[in-house]
């Protein structure tokens, strides 16, 4: 087999009607879950029958990244453009919905970019260590409903990251409906220069914890200023699900 075209199987549960609409409005339809207390991650599975996978699933996310098997994996082809967006505080994070047109191509499948959002600290860890933040770019195959989420670790630096400034300068402090971001955003500029990645099959990291996600975690972080990280932490100091066991799943690292 040509490893460059090594095909990673996607979850068969991806055929969910209306899932794109759910993802562009909120991370989950139920607002009663939390990241702490009696509605925190350890209790999600008991909050609703729809959340059962949060407790019983065997392919849950996030995970601790360690001991990955190296392979010459297919490149992620990013087709991101400049786009007008809307931004909102959905009660669990700050989310930016993007206009149609941006996408990735992975294993010859086109996944359309729906939205991106943030977690503090990072949900995925590297050898047990969390980064200051993590950004998730959520994509969907319009034909099958399968999801591909590109994750990037965000770390602190001295200088403001100008590419991220339109988002961090306009984060709403109150929960509400999406509002125009106010300026075009260069989505490709949000990515690191190196696009090698870790990959595994996993789940949404929020209820209902559906196991429908091909995770593509870039192994090069992006730097933000301390002020930018603090701007998000002032709103969401902790909105990260703890890591879950990898179990028998493959964890692969692009060896290019």
pLDDT at 240: 98
Percentage with pLDDT > 90 across the chain: 83
pLDDT at 168: 95
Beta strands in the chain (DSSP E): 64-65, 69-71, 77-79, 82-83, 85-89, 94-98, 103-106, 109-119, 125-126, 129-130, 133-140, 147-157, 179-180, 185-186, 197-202, 213-218, 222-225, 252-254
pLDDT at 4: 37
Tell me the two tokens of residue 234.
């002032």
The string of pLDDT tens digits covering residues 212-223 is: 999 999 999 999
Q: How many residues does the chain have?
A: 256
Q: Is the pLDDT of residue 70 over 60?
A: yes
pLDDT at 184: 85
pLDDT at 31: 53
Mean of the pLDDT values across residues 13-40? 60
Cα 75 to Cα 78: distance, rounded to the nearest angstrom: 9
pLDDT at 83: 86
pLDDT band at 97 (very low <50, low <70, confident <90, very high): very high
Q: Is the pLDDT of residue 177 over 90?
A: yes
More confident residue, 22 or 173: 173
Q: Is the pLDDT of residue 107 over 90?
A: yes
pLDDT band at 48 (very low <50, low <70, confident <90, very high): very high
pLDDT at 85: 86
Q: Is the pLDDT of residue 14 over 50?
A: no
Mean of the pLDDT values across residues 166-185? 92
pTM as predicted: 0.89
Are the beta carbons of 85 and 101 closer than 8 angstroms?
Answer: no
* Mean pLDDT computed over every residue of the chain: 89
pLDDT at 84: 79
Choice among 22-36, 43-57, 66-80 with the minimum mean pLDDT: 22-36
> 97: closest CA among 25, 153, 171?
25
Strand 64-65 relative to strand 125-126, pairing: parallel
More confident residue, 244 or 25: 244
Does residue 197 sit in helix, strand or coil? strand
């Amino acid at each position: 087999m040509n490893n460059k075209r090594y095909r990673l199987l996607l979850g068969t549960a991806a055929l969910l009607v209306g899932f794109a609409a759910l993802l562009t409005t909120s991370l989950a339809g139920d607002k009663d879950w939390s990241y702490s207390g009696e509605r925190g991650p350890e209790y999600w599975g008991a909050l609703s029958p729809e959340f059962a996978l949060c407790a019983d699933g065997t392919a849950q996310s996030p995970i601790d990244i360690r001991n990955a098997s190296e392979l010459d994996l297919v490149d992620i082809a990013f087709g991101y453009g400049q786009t007008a967006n809307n931004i909102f505080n959905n009660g669990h994070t700050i989310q930016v919905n993007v206009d149609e047109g941006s996408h990735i191509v992975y294993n010859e499948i086109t996944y359309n970019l729906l939205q991106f959002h943030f977690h503090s600290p990072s949900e995925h860890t590297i050898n047990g260590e969390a980064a200051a933040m993590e950004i998730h770019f959520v994509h969907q195959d319009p034909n099958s409903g399968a999801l591909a989420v590109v994750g990037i670790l965000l770390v602190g630096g001295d200088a403001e990251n100008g590419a991220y400034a339109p988002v961090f300068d306009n984060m709403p402090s109150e929960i509400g409906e999406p509002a125009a971001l106010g300026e075009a955003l260069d989505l490709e500029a949000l990515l690191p220069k190196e696009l090698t990645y870790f990959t595994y099959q996993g789940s949404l990291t929020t209820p209902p914890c559906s196991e429908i996600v091909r995770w593509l975690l870039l192994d090069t972080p992006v730097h933000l200023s301390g002020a930018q990280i603090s701007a998000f932490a002032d709103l969401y100091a902790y909105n990260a699900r703890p890591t879950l066991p990898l179990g028998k799943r493959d964890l692969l690292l692009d060896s290019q």
